[in-house]
């Protein structure tokens, strides 16, 4: 693999703009090479060699050997080397007042030297950009390390109070050194720096090394309370004072330790990425300078790389030292001094690609294709469509099985989303908040979707009866229960407690579903409202679930008879069910409006309220085809469609920006072809108008009404799948613009800053 591709594959996606622009520097070198090929003759062979140098490459040291009896001294050689240097790199003060480096080109500017001058100016700009970014991130890391020191001070004191509350008075009365206390608490006095002081670097740079007596720390800290449960949300709304005083119990200690353990892991991951950032940029500059030397036949790389090594990027070792100390601290306090266990917990888990997934996927894809072909052949050979029972089948069994069609189609679209997110380096795993190493790839999602498709198609084939049994006067009871049995099976797999079928992803999905159902009692994260948006495109699936309940609890499913359509309760819930997903999103928007005080969340909530009105009025129109309801449905649906389309394009996708350098698009685009964005905008508008089919009373003789409803619902799922890609693209670009590559983990303790300032 070429270095350019390797560099891009190892970049932190959100920091991509802060790396050395290796490809751009290569284009400048190509300009230099092109000019020299046209205007500069190749250098002659060294004197004394009449044959080409390439013929001597098999011999070690034939060219450029030092003559043993040469009178030139080492000092003379050094002076000559300096005189032959084509560049001189100096530390300077940049126009913006910041420190930087500037390269002076000393070689003759004829023979294309102006191209080389441009190259070094751009190289200096890239290098100074990298140093500035790296220095800023290291300063952030040092501040976080200082905060973690204080958190660990509080944790160790908390442990002492929990482990030995009766004798802790002695510790508060004496200014005992923190290291000794920590060693006593951990029963290991052999290790110095027994708390987060081991990651505390050089207190001389503005951070005090004076620490209070360990248990006195507890007088100025409180437990952080995060609003992440329904009860805590209700208390905030009712303005009930939060109980965040320290309660010295084992349960609280385990909770605090779990939070700090997570903080340590995220902090260590950040340090690893910073270290990788330094290494990759240094390597990129080294590679580009070697290419420069090769093209120009100069020896500039040594001088430039000497400057790089002496710069903050090359000489600073704060990150490495903090990493070492984090490892020691984590192993001691969170891994019971088990080094292997501690390092395994600290290092991010890389998901291994299993060949069994690809093999199983191929099997299920082939099985699905075979079942679809068998279904088509059976329908045609038996002329099932022309049989008398086909109409009853379409009104009863078809809506039941269409539920699985909606789910499988949505999963296929999600698999396509993952494929393109990865292809265009959109960090969906970080955006959704998946645990490292647990995010499903598109192959795993395809495997699950085709596995469900096989089960559904197999049930359809087993249940494809159009005629009653003449002896019993009904259909087979067992096959009639297949759709319900399949639903129960899917639910059982979802809640299965065993570590099979991607348990981590299943539980993550269940947690998000629970947060949607309980909105607005939980803090709204991106994964929660993203899932709720998916539900808004599955209205017909919600109605299918309602039909399941009605079909198997009213009437006689053995003869495919029910009174759902004439049931007032069913018809009433048909209105409610259609608005449930939009109601969830409305409540989520209100929660975010309450917390973030962002007026845009209020407008977003209005959009979902308008959609609820539109869906309700369209449902009412289908129940009684009156002119009044038709007019109301037209007006409400038009307003909701216009509002939703504008929000999709402008806010969710960030497009239609008239002042953008990419007119009517964004300043930054991931897909290189602009026509894709305009095509997708038109596609989104077109599918947003699928509701016209209901109000125009469009019917096709060759399609049953239920088939038409299923097709319209499938088009909305496809629209949502396309929306998903561009919604996450916009979110990713916002993170890139802010260099936001890490999730924020709440700290367990909150220091009373006022008391600290008074003491200081």
The answer to whether 412 and 449 have CB atoms below 8 angstroms apart is yes
Answer whether residue 495 is part of any domain.
Answer: yes
What is the SS3 string spanning 611-641? HHHHHHHHHHHHHCCCHHHHHHHHHHHHHHH
Domain count, the chain: 1
Answer whether residue 83 is part of any domain.
Answer: no
- With 60 as the cut, is the pLDDT of residue 64 above it? no
Of all residues in the chain, what percent are helix, strand and coil, respectively (each to 5)? 65, 5, 30
Answer whether residue 210 is part of any domain.
Answer: no
Among 141-155, 446-460, 575-589, which is the least confidently predicted range? 141-155
- With 50 as the cut, is the pLDDT of residue 204 above it? no
Answer whether residue 263 is part of any domain.
Answer: no
DSSP annotation of 649 reads I
The answer to whether 668 and 707 have CB atoms below 8 angstroms apart is no
Tokens 């040469």 belong to 70
Q: Which of 467-476, 527-536, 651-660 has the highest mean pLDDT?
A: 527-536
Residue 413 burial (C-beta neighbours within 10 Å; 0-12, 13-18, 19+): buried
Q: What tens digit of pLDDT does each residue of 466-502 get?
A: 877 777 767 888 888 999 999 999 999 999 999 999 9
Answer whether residue 255 is part of any domain.
Answer: no
The answer to whether 459 and 46 have CB atoms below 8 angstroms apart is no
Q: What is the predicted pLDDT for the residue at 96?
A: 67
Mean pLDDT value across the chain = 83
Average pLDDT score over residue span 540-554? 93
- With 70 as the cut, is the pLDDT of residue 69 above it? no
pTM: 0.85
Question: In the numeric block, which tokens belong to residue 466?
Answer: 């159009």
Question: How far is residue 353's CA from residue 359's CA, in Å, rounded to a whole number?
Answer: 12
Omega within 30 of 0 (cis) for the link into 520: yes
Answer whether residue 512 is part of any domain.
Answer: yes
Q: What tens digit of pLDDT does each residue of 134-178 get?
A: 999 999 999 999 999 989 988 988 888 887 766 554 444 333 333
Q: Which residues of 638-671 are buried (b: 16+ CB within 10 A; e: fewer)?
A: eebbebbeebbbebbbbbbeeeeeeeebbebbbe
Question: In the numeric block, which tokens belong to residue 177?
Answer: 């050194």
Answer whether residue 74 is part of any domain.
Answer: no
- With 60 as the cut, is the pLDDT of residue 71 above it? no
Q: What tens digit of pLDDT does each residue of 681-718 get?
A: 999 999 998 888 777 777 777 788 899 999 999 999 99
Q: What is the predicted pLDDT for the residue at 189?
A: 33
The confidence band for 244, taking pLDDT boundaries of 50, 70 and 90, is low
Q: Which of 49-58, 210-219, 477-486 has the highest mean pLDDT?
A: 477-486
Q: What tens digit of pLDDT does each residue of 272-303 get?
A: 999 999 999 999 999 999 999 999 888 888 99
- With 90 as the cut, is the pLDDT of residue 364 above it? yes
Among 82-86, 104-108, 359-363, 550-554, which is the least confidently predicted range? 82-86
The confidence band for 56, taking pLDDT boundaries of 50, 70 and 90, is very low
Q: What is the predicted pLDDT for the residue at 166?
A: 60
Answer whether residue 233 is part of any domain.
Answer: no
The confidence band for 507, taking pLDDT boundaries of 50, 70 and 90, is very high
Among 189-198, 449-458, 566-575, 605-614, which is the least confidently predicted range? 189-198
Phi-psi region of 611 (alpha: psi -120 to 50; beta: other; left: phi over 0): alpha
Average pLDDT score over residue span 174-199? 40
Q: Residue 598 belongs to what domain range?
A: 355-737
Average pLDDT score over residue span 406-419? 97
- With 80 as the cut, is the pLDDT of residue 210 above it? no
The confidence band for 84, taking pLDDT boundaries of 50, 70 and 90, is low
Question: In the numeric block, which tokens belong to residue 104?
Answer: 């002076």
Residue 633 burial (C-beta neighbours within 10 Å; 0-12, 13-18, 19+): buried
Residues of the chain with pLDDT > 90, as a percent, come to 51
């Amino acid at each position: 693999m070429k270095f350019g591709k390797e560099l891009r594959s190892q970049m932190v996606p959100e920091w991509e703009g802060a790396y050395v622009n290796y490809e751009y520097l290569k284009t400048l070198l190509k300009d230099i090479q092109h000019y020299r090929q046209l205007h500069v003759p190749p250098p002659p062979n060294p004197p004394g060699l009449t044959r080409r140098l390439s013929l001597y490459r098999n011999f070690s040291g034939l060219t450029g050997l030092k003559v043993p009896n040469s009178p030139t001294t080492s000092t003379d050689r050094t002076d000559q080397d300096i005189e032959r240097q084509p560049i001189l790199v100096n530390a300077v003060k940049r126009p913006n007042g910041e420190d930087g480096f500037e390269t002076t080109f000393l070689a003759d500017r004829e023979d294309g030297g102006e191209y080389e001058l441009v190259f070094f100016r751009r190289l200096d700009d890239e290098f100074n950009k990298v140093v500035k970014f790296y220095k800023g991130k290291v300063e952030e890391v040092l501040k976080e390390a200082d905060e973690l020191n204080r958190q660990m001070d509080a944790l160790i004191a908390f442990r002492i109070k929990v482990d030995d509350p009766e004798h802790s008075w002695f510790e508060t009365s004496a200014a005992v050194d923190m290291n000794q206390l920590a060693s006593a608490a951990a029963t290991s006095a052999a290790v110095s720096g027994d708390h987060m002081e081991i990651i505390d670097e050089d207190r001389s740079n503005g951070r005090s090394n004076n620490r209070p007596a360990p248990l006195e720390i507890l007088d100025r800290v409180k437990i952080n309370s995060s609003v992440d449960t329904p009860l805590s949300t209700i208390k905030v709304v009712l303005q009930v004072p939060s109980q965040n005083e320290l309660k010295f119990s084992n349960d609280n200690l385990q909770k605090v330790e779990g939070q700090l353990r997570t903080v340590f892991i995220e902090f260590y991951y950040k340090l690893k990425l910073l270290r990788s950032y330094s290494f990759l940029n240094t390597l990129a500059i080294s590679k580009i300078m070697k290419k420069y030397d090769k093209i120009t036949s100069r020896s500039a790389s040594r001088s430039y790389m000497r400057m790089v090594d002496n710069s903050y990027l090359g000489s600073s070792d704060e990150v490495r030292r903090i990493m070492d100390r984090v490892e020691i601290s984590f192993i001691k306090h969170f891994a019971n001094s088990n080094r292997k266990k501690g390092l395994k917990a600290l290092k991010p888990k890389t998901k291994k690609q299993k060949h069994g997934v690809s093999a199983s996927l191929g099997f299920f894809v082939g099985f699905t294709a075979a079942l679809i072909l068998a279904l088509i052949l059976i329908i045609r050979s038996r002329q099932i469509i022309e049989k008398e029972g086909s109409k009853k089948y379409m009104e009863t069994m078809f809506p039941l099985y269409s539920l699985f069609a909606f789910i499988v189609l949505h999963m296929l679209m999600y698999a396509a989303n993952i494929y393109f997110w990865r292809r265009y380096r959109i960090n969906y795993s970080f955006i959704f908040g998946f645990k490292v190493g647990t995010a499903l790839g598109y192959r795993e999602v395809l495997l699950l979707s085709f596995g469900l498709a096989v089960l559904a198609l197999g049930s359809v084939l087993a249940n494809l009866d159009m005629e009653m049994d003449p002896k019993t006067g009904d259909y087979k009871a067992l096959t009639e229960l297949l759709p319900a049995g399949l639903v129960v099976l899917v639910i059982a797999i979802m809640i299965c407690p065993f570590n099979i079928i991607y348990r981590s992803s299943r539980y993550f999905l269940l947690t998000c579903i629970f947060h949607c159902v309980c909105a607005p009692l939980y803090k709204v994260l991106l994964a929660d409202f993203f899932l709720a948006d998916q539900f808004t495109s599955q209205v017909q699936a919600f109605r299918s679930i309602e039909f399941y309940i009605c079909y198997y609890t009213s009437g006689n499913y053995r003869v495919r008879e029910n009174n759902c359509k004439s049931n007032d309760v069913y018809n009433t819930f048909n209105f409610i069910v259609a608005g449930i997903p939009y109601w969830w999103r409305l409540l989520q928007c209100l929660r975010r409006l309450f917390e973030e005080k962002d007026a845009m969340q209020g407008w977003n909530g209005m959009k979902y309220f308008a959609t609820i009105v539109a869906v309700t009025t369209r449902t009412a129109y289908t129940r009684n085809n009156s002119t009044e309801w038709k007019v109301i449905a037209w007006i409400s649906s038009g307003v909701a469609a216009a509002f939703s389309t504008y929000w999709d394009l402008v806010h969710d996708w960030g497009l239609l920006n008239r002042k953008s350098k990419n007119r009517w698009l964004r300043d930054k685009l991931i897909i290189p072809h602009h026509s894709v964005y305009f095509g997708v905008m038109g596609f989104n508008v077109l599918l947003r108008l699928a509701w016209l089919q209901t109000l125009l009373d469009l019917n096709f003789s060759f399609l049953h009404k239920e088939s038409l409803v299923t097709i319209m619902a499938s088009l909305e799922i496809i629209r949502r799948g396309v929306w998903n890609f561009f919604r996450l693209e916009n979110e990713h670009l916002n993170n890139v613009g802010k260099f936001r590559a890490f999730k924020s983990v709440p700290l367990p303790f909150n220091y009373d800053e006022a008391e600290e300032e008074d003491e200081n």
